[in-house]
Amino acid sequence: MLGGVVQGRQTRAAWPPRRTALPRKLHGGDILRRFAVKAMTCEGSKMGAVRPQARVRRRCARPAAARPAWAMSGAEFTSARMAARMPLDALGRRVLCGTDYATVRYVGSVPPTAGIWLGVEWDDPQRGKHDGTYEGTQYFKCRHPRGGSFIRPNKANFGVDFLTAVKDRYGLNDHQEVQHGTENTLVFGKKTVEFVGMDSIAEQQSQLNQLVDISVRECAVSHAGQKEEIGRTCASIRHINLSKNLISTWETVTAIASQVQNLETLNISENKIEFPSTLTSVSSVFSKLRILALNQTEITWTEVLLCAPGWPALEELYLTSNNITLSERPDNVLQTLKLLDLSDNQLLDGNQLHLIAHLPRLEQLILRNTGISSIHFPDARFGCKTKMFPSLKHLAINDSKISQWSSINELDKLPSLRSLQCHNNPFTDTEKNPETLRQLIIAKISQLEVLNKSEILPAERKGAELDYRKIFGNEWLAAGGHWNPEKNNPSEEFLAAHPRYLLLCLKYGAPEEGELKKQQPSTLKNQLLTLTIKCPEKPEQKPVERKLPESMTVQRVKGLLYRLFKIPGSELKLSYKSSKLEGKEVELDNDLKPLQFYSIENGDCMLVRW
């Protein structure tokens, strides 16, 4: 050993230990064999000859990297070994230090210390110490004032190639220590695997060719490896999860994907990637790609559009948590897209949505937790359908900043909308009762079938629309509404706030004066409904009149009828008729809903069947 640590003190072995122990002239190759110094290579006897000790000291003035290994101090030799292991393209590479991720921003010396340092910017700023400045000299820049540090190269894990990660993940790495266990097993490290015959390892490795779905998440993948090796080893791959690795450039992604002929799904989320800044030539690498996840990759919308020509068959694109702002229309690209997820991009606003409004096949748009505060489609008047988002069926705007009901009115203009998620927006705070809030949204959007992941049944829609018609009846009259169609002329302000109200009046009739009485104090007497209960299929059973609280659930009503008719509640089917519904029958199909949910009123007839 040329140097070492003895009791915490760095030492240098004497050179040579004893002059009498060595011949007068010793070739470099002999030194290598005797002391196992692999970093030194010599050609000819003169280059490796040992010289008198004084002459060695004079030559030590040269930089460590330029001196032979035997002439270095222990610290210098360690630094040289670290530099030898560091990749030549270390600058800009992603590294892993323990469990923390960082990007290399500087490679070189940091006086007055000796050796090579890496200046890194940590993903987690709390891990750092400074902004890249040390003792007044700025070596690199950081986004966060305390996001940077200096580390030695041997502390940085620069990652492995894709195929090595696959073999490690699936227990088929050639470098794993293999020991023979019992007669029918092999021991791979701590794993015991049964085998038949001596070719079991080859059989296991051949399974790589059968893998269709591969996940190497958090496996420190940083590069593709040997050219064409992935295609030869894993020929059946269709789906790859490369999330949270050490990939630093889009070229690396392309190098891996180019060896997978039938790639359909690719997830490279949580990699801080440098994307092309100019339009590149279109290749067929991603010609079959249908699903692409680029969450938390720091990609911009401009970079998305520059790469998009290479994704001709893409159907689903995930771009969450990238601080994206939509800056231009995706003309002639992303035309096959069916799902777009822009969640957790706080810089989005409603006007930016117009730039993606003409994607012809977009069916699902996910905008959770964005900066969107309003939605409007200026090309269509109320009661008409917009030409924007022609195929949009599913919209998620929950956890956003929408504060006005007018944005919910606008959603009725979408011609294909069927499903909406909108909870946790400021406009929902205007109504304390969640059931009433749900009814208002249902009544405002005519074609909605699913709200906040809960199906809207026909009876629920009918009840919601009838209630909406009554709730805003007095406001309708005050704004110029009238039961006589010839005198019915509500103001523009009312129609803007309630664009479907006139359609609901046409559908169910204008609300009668008795329905629009001011709400009386909430006493038990005022909450009781007088209902006539009939059994239409049992004519011998006489009608019964009962007063029931409007807050009573359908399940409790069935319990009451069980005691009345001696029929098990589980076998009862309830419905009701109202004179205002022109003989139509409404089924009470949810045992957990109260009677008021179905808009049952005094004098209505409840029908019981079993």
Range with lowest mean pLDDT among 401-410, 465-474, 566-575: 566-575
State the span(s) of the chain assigned CATH 3.80.10.10.
Answer: 160-172+199-463
In angstroms, rounded to a whole number, what is the distance separating the alpha carbons of residues 398 and 396?
6
Sign of the CA dihedral running 399, 400, 406, 412:
negative
pLDDT surpasses 80 at 159: yes
Amino acid letter for position 71: A
In angstroms, rounded to a whole number, what is the distance separating the alpha carbons of residues 291 and 314?
6
Q: In 412-432, which positions are buried (b, 16+ CB within 10 angstroms) versus exposed (e)?
A: bbbeebbbbbbbebebbeeee
Residue 256 per-residue DSSP state: H
Range with lowest mean pLDDT among 139-153, 161-175, 422-436: 161-175
What is the predicted pLDDT for the residue at 79?
Answer: 53
Percent of the chain scoring above 70 in pLDDT: 77
Range with lowest mean pLDDT among 56-70, 189-203, 219-233, 438-452: 56-70
Task: Report the CATH number of the 528-609 domain.
Answer: 3.10.20.90
What is the predicted pLDDT for the residue at 561?
Answer: 82
The model's pLDDT over 37-54, given as tens digits with 9 standing for 90+, comes to 333 333 333 333 333 333
pLDDT surpasses 60 at 198: no
pLDDT surpasses 60 at 420: yes
Locate the DSSP E strands across 294-382. Answer: 316-318, 339-341, 364-366
Mean pLDDT calculated for residue range 171-178: 56
What is the predicted pLDDT for the residue at 186?
Answer: 42
- For 160-172+199-463, give the CATH class: alpha beta
pTM, rounded to two decimals: 0.71
What is the predicted pLDDT for the residue at 550?
Answer: 84
* Mean of the per-residue pLDDT values of the chain: 82
pLDDT surpasses 60 at 209: yes
The model's pLDDT over 430-460, given as tens digits with 9 standing for 90+, comes to 888 888 899 999 999 999 999 999 999 998 9
Mean pLDDT calculated for residue range 187-208: 51
**Phi, psi of 582, deg, nearest 5:** 55, 50
pLDDT surpasses 90 at 223: yes
Mean pLDDT calculated for residue range 111-126: 94
The model's pLDDT over 292-330, given as tens digits with 9 standing for 90+, comes to 999 999 999 999 999 999 999 999 999 999 999 999 999
Higher pLDDT, 202 or 448: 448
State the span(s) of the chain assigned CATH 2.30.30.190.
Answer: 87-155
What is the predicted pLDDT for the residue at 173?
Answer: 64
Which are the contacts of 365, defined by CB distance < 8 A and separation ≥ 6? Answer: 339, 340, 342, 389, 392, 394, 395, 396
pLDDT surpasses 90 at 203: no
Mean pLDDT calculated for residue range 182-205: 47
Long-range contacts of 513-522 (CB under 8 A, 24+ apart): 515/470, 515/473, 515/601, 516/470, 516/473, 516/474, 516/477, 518/474
In angstroms, rounded to a whole number, what is the distance separating the alpha carbons of residues 26 and 480?
112
In angstroms, rounded to a whole number, what is the distance separating the alpha carbons of residues 260 and 241?
13
Which are the contacts of 171, defined by CB distance < 8 A and separation ≥ 6? Answer: 188, 191, 193, 204
What is the predicted pLDDT for the residue at 595?
Answer: 86
State the span(s) of the chain assigned CATH 3.10.20.90.
Answer: 528-609
- For 87-155, give the CATH class: mainly beta
Q: Are 593 and 550 in contact (CB under 8 A)?
A: no
Mean pLDDT calculated for residue range 68-79: 51
Higher pLDDT, 591 or 436: 436
Higher pLDDT, 422 or 541: 422
In angstroms, rounded to a whole number, what is the distance separating the alpha carbons of residues 84 and 303?
35
What is the predicted pLDDT for the residue at 199?
Answer: 53
The model's pLDDT over 341-399, given as tens digits with 9 standing for 90+, comes to 999 999 899 999 999 999 999 999 999 999 899 999 999 998 899 999 999 999 999 99
What is the predicted pLDDT for the residue at 72?
Answer: 52
pLDDT surpasses 90 at 161: yes
What is the predicted pLDDT for the residue at 80?
Answer: 54
Mean pLDDT calculated for residue range 190-203: 47
